[in-house]
Structure 1
């Protein structure tokens, strides 16, 4: 707080304010397909009803032993249950460790172990899976884990249901007293999100009230939501994408949050029309597809839509232009990471949609102000990785490095091999940008220095999948690289040196990974066999050469 970077408010203060000021207004609505997803009836709650639900869950969790400082892993689809669970944990002083609902036992094991989580909150059914049983199987195997809490259709497997019966009056009162007596600070850690990065194991990204609100404010200043806004969130509410583009702007601006995920276009378009959505987020591929599909747009009333946030891949300038001038919808260009990179191309800063699609604001540019106040408290550098010198000439390229209120304090102990900060305390993003504009006022994304693959907005660490596949008896050596996909941005290709003349098939690798309970989005969707993988003198895979080679294979 000594730098005056952060608000004095907490996330809980924001919720309390809306409950007090607009308790009877609609606050949050479940996905309409929630029954098909996990057997939970959809609801719509006012701010006052949401507050009561949070109170109830906090009382049940506290009665089961959850208290200040406890880490609780959360694996659920976007829903009111997920939203209320977060606030219930925060009221108890506990820390949520969220993960995508598509994660399975393999990923859950690593996260529970890394965070020393004492409990898991999950659902009993998710498609053809029973996530609660996956979590329960870890009790006794992981020493910290003692309880699995569940939502959804009852399953007699030992999980503790949170939606079977309400908390007693005594439990509610005890939880409220505990909450009132608990010291609260903007520096309190409330989440540990997870990022794959370039290492096989997930890295924990602790976040406190202060820096989450700073991130949310940066986005809110561009979205400009208010109590009349209706926000539709299609991104999993587990990390920067879901929190920054929906949960935090909703809390900062008020309004109505409509939840969605996993992406189902029929349900998504129906929600846009049914709830008269004013703000939403879309991956670039969906922006392009909807622009091309006049039939889909004509079949749904999208006239309330005003602003769309997009990112995760370069935005086609012509698409952003046509959304604005033909459809009357402004597209915002987001660039972010769990560690706190948070750049926002907003219409008020960059009115020309062609420029806004291709360029992001350089918060370090002299004599230039930006719509978000966070920009004034953020220091930006581009550093030439070859020379270590700061890039100052327009047209120069370097790694993006930042200091400021959106940047996290460092990875969870034991989850990262090295510090992400340079000697001056700047976050090394691993992203290469070019300095652009007449006076260096813009940044253009060039490439990632990291080896991460981003498939439909989900991060995949190649080393993690390689570490599993190398144990396949038919694999002598393997590299996992991304290849372009028009819809998802990237998909995974396994480049394999077979161990025998009989070779290996893609189906064999996929079955092997499924047997290890690896999340489906991480499975390779293409295989290329080679005699040898290119490596440098110290044995490091030359991934750029590999990607180039598989591109030539076609």
Structure 2
């Protein structure tokens, strides 16, 4: 399966950005050069995850065991271009499946373990998988049986049965697939504003994403990396799997996010770099005693992202703990922005701003600036935007960018000269204007009487309210203004709901213009989130609408 045109392949190969390295060929090279170096380390709780006792695989073991698994899958009829829908927690078995699929030229489509029958059936209808692979149970859920029920007529294979079959097969190297331009994965968008879409990516696209992340994070050959994110999308594959293959790094797996276990792994595995959720880093910054319980002397730096970071957190990590912080902003489709101590020295900058990579006249150099081009356009007209303080839709191009969504009408998704319209709203910022500030999603914008408002801006402010455990805003219909703003709040234990006036005053004290303040409050026990933890705003809109016009 390929999605790139011959012209695109030739152009990126001529430029030196794409080559012949596949995931499995990179790992085979490491098995030959550094076979006894640890490659994958299971989480200590893997048995509780239903995945058996934790294992530690070196590069030779990873190569051999994936040979056997590839042969087991081939004996079951899997070959080049066949799609495998896979739902597993972060354990060595999932990594083995990625490598085995690579060897066969098959396409692996990973699903977060939180997805159920409805979502799995939807993914299958878009992907047409040859088989579904999972484990029997995870906690109180029967993953394999649930998947089989959602996919009548499609083979459902238990991972332990596959691994047992693999162990009995020839584990020497075979005549494996060698097309680095073929699709390796179909990952799925987060689906915060609609049905998740499949994102096909080739080995070469992933190699570019991996090199971008390792350059931004300053990864060094053989380093130990702790991966707390599910191996289902850009954060894990570009941040850990491909850097492991490119640099011979050791990947320590973690699942699900458990702060105490995560901190113990940082210490016990002498981790050099990790990418962590902002909430966990904020907690560590605010509680020095917690940090001091552990020995993090091996830790060189940390990465974070997905929401604006706290400048105070960055200052604490760099000033008190001596650990640099890198801010990442990426996507399955190929966004690869990052802010480092070199490109955004001040904590206030790095918390919210990203260098305008690939824009003429910018001072930024290095691999990221070579492989990513960016521009900003008016979402409605497509006209370019270059003025400081102006916001518009972020567009990207480069060898790490995908070719289009699986099975979708992709007309209008790319500009005539090949820039992907990300749907992300950014503002040209800084003095001088060298940076982008992420404003939100174009589809998320609330149109209040002609004034366009970004809900993510309000979300970020509200999350700092001491009485709120969770907060997000959404629109609700209004006959006069078209849309108004509702604050959807989850209170902390024992807290009382703020009044509209009190909430508006609190936001105003933090610099928010009064016309952006919410005009309605709705309380929730919890906010609807997708398996990646992002608020699903469409569901909030529907929930608020269902409650009628009460304030």
Is the TM value for this pair above 0.5? yes
- Aligned partners of 2:246 and 2:532: how far apart in 1? 34
1:13 is paired with a residue whose SS is helix
- Aligned partners of 1:123 and 1:81: how far apart in 2? 10
Alpha-carbon distance change, 283 to 220 in structure 1, aligned in 2, over 3 angstroms: same
Match of residue 448 from structure 1: 441
- Aligned partners of 1:35 and 1:404: how far apart in 2? 42
Structure 2 residue 260 is matched with structure 1 residue 255: no
Match of residue 3 from structure 1: 11
Among 371, 375, 388, the residue aligned to 1:394: 388
Unmatched 5+ residue regions in structure 1?
A: 153-160, 457-461, 464-478, 488-504, 534-548
- Aligned partners of 1:107 and 1:58: how far apart in 2? 27
Alignment of 1:223-372 (within 5 A): 223-372=217-366
- Aligned partners of 2:52 and 2:486: how far apart in 1? 38
- Aligned partners of 1:217 and 1:484: how far apart in 2? 40
Alpha-carbon distance change, 305 to 417 in structure 1, aligned in 2, over 3 angstroms: same
| Matched-pair contact (CA < 8 Å) for 2:308–2:352 | yes
Q: CA deviation at 1:300?
A: 1.6
Alpha-carbon distance change, 531 to 69 in structure 1, aligned in 2, over 3 angstroms: closer
Structure 2 residue 141 is matched with structure 1 residue 148: no
Q: CA deviation at 1:480?
A: 13
Q: Deviation string for 1:396-428 (max 9, x for gaps)?
A: 2111111111210001114x6754223332111
| Matched-pair contact (CA < 8 Å) for 2:222–2:247 | no
Match of residue 80 from structure 1: 92
| Matched-pair contact (CA < 8 Å) for 1:26–1:46 | yes
Match of residue 112 from structure 1: 124
- Aligned partners of 1:311 and 1:130: how far apart in 2? 32
2:187 is paired with a residue whose SS is strand
The normalised TM-score by structure 2 is 0.78
2:47 is paired with a residue whose SS is helix
Structure 2 residue 64 is matched with structure 1 residue 52: yes
How many residue pairs match? The answer is: 475
Alpha-carbon distance change, 482 to 118 in structure 1, aligned in 2, over 3 angstroms: farther
Match of residue 470 from structure 1: none
Structure 2 residue 141 is matched with structure 1 residue 129: yes
Structure 2 residue 37 is matched with structure 1 residue 25: yes
| Matched-pair contact (CA < 8 Å) for 1:198–1:450 | no
Segment of structure 1 superposing worse, 12-21 or 22-31: 12-21
Unmatched 5+ residue regions in structure 2?
A: 1-8, 446-454, 461-472, 475-483, 493-522
| Matched-pair contact (CA < 8 Å) for 2:330–2:336 | yes
Alpha-carbon distance change, 293 to 250 in structure 1, aligned in 2, over 3 angstroms: same
1:100 is paired with a residue whose SS is coil
Alpha-carbon distance change, 325 to 312 in structure 1, aligned in 2, over 3 angstroms: same
1:24 is paired with a residue whose SS is coil
- Aligned partners of 1:483 and 1:372: how far apart in 2? 42
Q: CA deviation at 1:351?
A: 3.1
2:39 is paired with a residue whose SS is strand
Alpha-carbon distance change, 192 to 39 in structure 1, aligned in 2, over 3 angstroms: closer
The normalised TM-score by structure 1 is 0.78
| Matched-pair contact (CA < 8 Å) for 1:349–1:371 | no
| Matched-pair contact (CA < 8 Å) for 2:359–2:373 | no
